[in-house]
Amino acid sequence: MSNQVFEIKRNVYFFMEQRKGADGEIIETNVPIRMSVSFGKKRIIFFAGSRIDAIKWEGYIPTKIRKTTDKKPSELKQRVKNNTTHAKGQTAKDINDKLSKLESGMHTFFKTWEVREAYPEPSDVKAEFSRLINNRAVKVDTFFGAFDDFVKTVGRENDWGLETFTKFTSLKNHLLGFDKALTFEKFNANRMLDYINFLKVKQGNRNTTIAKNIDFVKWFLKWAAKNEHPVSKSALDYKLKLKGTDGSLKKVVFLTIEELKHLNALNIPDTKGYLQRVRDVFVFCCFTGLRYSDAYALKRTDVKDGYITFVTQKTSSLLKVELNKYSKAILDKYEDVPFEKNKALPVITNQKMNEYLKELGELAGFSSSETIVYFRGNERVEETHPKHALLSTHCARKTFVTNLIYMGVSDHVIRQWTGHRDSKSFDVYHKMVDEIKEREMSKFDNI
Residue pair 290/350 in contact by the 8 Å Cβ criterion: no
Q: What is the pLDDT of residue 297?
A: 92
Long-range (24+ apart) CB contacts under 8 A made by 61-64 are 62/28, 63/25, 63/26, 63/28
SS3 144: helix
Report residue 207: phi and psi, to 5°: -60, -35
Give residue 161's identity as a one-letter amino acid code.
G
Burial label, 360 (beta-carbon count in 10 A; 0-12, 13-18, 19+): buried
pLDDT number for residue 85: 83
CB 74 within 8 Å of CB 98? no
Q: What is the pLDDT of residue 315?
A: 78
SS3 (DSSP) at 184: coil
pLDDT of residue 21: 85
Rounded to an integer, the average pLDDT of 380-402 is 94
Distance CA 141, CA 89 (A): 39
Q: Is 342 left (phi over 0), alpha (psi -120 to 50) or beta?
A: left
- Give the residue, 102 or 162, on which the prediction is more confident: 102
Q: How far from 127 is each of 116, 120, 217, 342, CA to CA, in Å?
A: 18, 11, 29, 50
Check if the beta carbon of residue 48 is closer than 8 Å to that of residue 150. Answer: no
Q: Check pLDDT > 70 for residue 335.
A: yes
Helix (H, G, I), strand (E, B) or coil at 237: helix
Rounded CA-CA distance 88/94 in Å is: 12
Lowest mean pLDDT among 44-58, 264-278, 306-320, 419-433: 419-433
At residue 181, the pLDDT reads: 86
For 18-44, what is the mean pLDDT?
Answer: 90
Question: Quick count: other Cβ atoms within 10 Å of Cβ 286?
Answer: 25
Mean pLDDT of 295-322: 92
Sign of CA dihedral 196, 201, 202, 205: positive
The residue among 30, 134, 136, 138 whose CA lies nearest residue 90 is 30
**Ramachandran angles phi, psi of 435, nearest 5°:** -65, -40
Each residue's pLDDT tens digit, 105-122:
999 888 878 876 778 889
Residues 55 and 28: their CA atoms lie apart, in Å, by 7
Amino acid making up residue 403 = N
pLDDT beyond 60 at 94 = yes
Q: What is the pLDDT of residues 53-89, one digit of tens each?
A: 988 998 776 666 555 555 555 556 789 998 888 767 7
Instruction: Give the pLDDT confidence of 175-196 residue by residue, as tens digits.
Output: 999 999 898 888 999 999 999 9
Q: What is the mean pLDDT of residues 44-49?
A: 95
For residues 55 and 49, give the distance between their C-alpha atoms in angstroms, rounded to a whole number. 18
> What's the CA gap between 414 and 160, in Å, rounded?
24
Cα–Cα dist 253/432, whole Å: 9
SS3 140: coil
pLDDT at 1 over 50: no
pLDDT value for 74:
52
pLDDT band, very low/low/confident/very high, at 389 (cuts 50, 70, 90): very high
Name the average pLDDT for the chain.
88
Residue 221 has pLDDT above 90, yes or no: yes
- Rounded Cα gap, residues 307 and 364, in angstroms: 29
Alpha-carbon radius of gyration of the chain? 34
Task: Enumerate domains of the chain plus CATH numbers.
Answer: 10-133 (no CATH), 143-237 (1.10.150), 257-446 (1.10.443.10)
Q: Is the pLDDT of residue 343 over 70?
A: yes
